[in-house]
Amino acid sequence: MAPPEDSSQPRLAAGCRWGGTEQDRVILFPEGAIKLQGTGRQVLEHCDGQRSFGQIIAELQAQFADADPTKIRADISQFLEQLRHKRIVDY
């Protein structure tokens, strides 16, 4: 599968939704659930279908200004590709 383009609008795939408590958020999907913490949770909370991939990257690069912006882009792209392969994220 191709990585997201800057104009892509990542969102949870059909049949997937947020669950759990505010402290212990999980993504519920037909085959199970994934508990999200830290950066993974922050990335997916930005994937609302309204923001573009480019906007998400810019927001997270500003939030993590001490990190290498190129690495942030590569890591988030790879993370979303993995979730898309598992049919948890669509873009």
CATH homologous superfamily of 12-90 equals Coenzyme PQQ synthesis protein D (PqqD) (1.10.10.1150)
Backbone phi, psi, residue 84, to 5°? -70, -40
pLDDT in tens, 32-50: 999 988 899 999 999 999 9
Please report the pLDDT score of residue 72 as a whole number. 95
- pLDDT score of 18 more than 90: yes
> In the chain, count of helices (H) and strands (E)?
3, 5
What element of type H or E holds 32?
A: strand 32-35
Of the CA atoms within 13 Å of residue 91, those in its CB half-sphere come to: 30
Domain spans of the chain?
12-90
pLDDT band at 5 (very low <50, low <70, confident <90, very high): very high
